[in-house]
Amino acid sequence: MSNEYKCPINQYGVRYFNPAGPQTQIAEQLHLSNAAVLPANGQVVHIVGQLGRENDGSYPDDAAKQLRLAFVNTEKALHAAGVTAGWRAVFSATLYISGDAANDQSQAEAYMKCMDAFCGTNRPLVTAVVVKQLLVPGALVEMSSQAILGNAAML
């Protein structure tokens, strides 16, 4: 048996599901879903890994700040691709955190704050992966995502 999570992205035909039991509990706790079904006629936008860099190209030393900037930069890329709903239209994201930053407890708190601030009631599929290091020196966080093309008026 599964539980379907209802939220505004359903207007695009995207449906989220969580199996009964512990997976639903972790989904609630981490503001995510376990499965998504996309409409056959939906246009999908893929966003390449966005880093937590400032507008001047620098990287904050703080991993939590880099995480927030990765969310901000993802939203900028979404808007550039015509996804005016931004994070509210994202149905899947993968977060890469360097080993040093992964041990920082503030990362979990920053993640929850970003999910609440950027996603609202949307609960995309999210996978977080700890890596030894990222390719770009100074980068502690990188995030790739996929969104359904739509506009903010629909969400």
Domain boundaries, the chain: 43-154
Number of helices (H), then strands (E), belonging to the chain: the values are 4, 7
Please name the CATH architecture into which domain 43-154 falls.
2-Layer Sandwich (3.30)
Given a cut of 70, whether residue 9 has pLDDT beyond it is: yes
Of the candidates 35, 52, 34, 62, which has an alpha carbon nearest to the alpha carbon of residue 95?
52
The answer for 13, left when phi > 0, alpha when psi is -120 to 50, beta otherwise, is left
The whole-number average pLDDT for the span 83-109 is 84
Average pLDDT for the chain:
87
Given a cut of 70, whether residue 153 has pLDDT beyond it is: no
Question: pTM of this prediction?
Answer: 0.86
Residue appearing with tokens 């390719």: 135
Query: pLDDT band at residue 83, thresholds of 50, 70 and 90?
Result: very high
pLDDT of residue 106: 72
Give the pLDDT confidence of 46-76 residue by residue, as tens digits. 999 999 999 999 999 988 899 999 999 999 9
Given a cut of 90, whether residue 42 has pLDDT beyond it is: no
Of the candidates 74, 55, 52, which has an alpha carbon nearest to the alpha carbon of residue 63?
52
Give CA–CA dist 18/27, Å, rounded: 7
Query: pLDDT band at residue 150, thresholds of 50, 70 and 90?
Result: low
